[in-house]
Amino acid sequence: MELWWLLLVLGVSFALCRFLLMLIPPNVPSIYVDASD
């Protein structure tokens, strides 16, 4: 039963991804294309 561990990892990785997207200026549309794909 390591569901909480999985949720924790997903939460941290999601938060980190959002933080990196905030730091990166939206002048590189290729990143958004790769992320949506």
Q: pLDDT tens for residues 4-31?
A: 999 999 999 999 989 988 887 666 666 5
Torsions phi, psi for 25 (to 5 deg) = -65, 145
- What pLDDT is stored for residue 13 in this prediction? 94
Contact of 28 with 21, CB cutoff 8 Å: no
Contact of 31 with 24, CB cutoff 8 Å: yes
Higher pLDDT, 26 or 2: 2
Tokens representing 2 are 């390591």
- What pLDDT is stored for residue 12 in this prediction? 96
- Looking up tokens 């999601």, which residue turns up? 14
Please state the domain extents for the chain: 3-36
- What pLDDT is stored for residue 2 in this prediction? 87
- What pLDDT is stored for residue 20 in this prediction? 86
- What pLDDT is stored for residue 35 in this prediction? 57
Q: State the amino acid at position 20 in one-letter form.
A: L
Query: Taking the model in full, what pTM does it have?
Result: 0.51
Residues 6+ apart with CB under 8 A from 24: 31
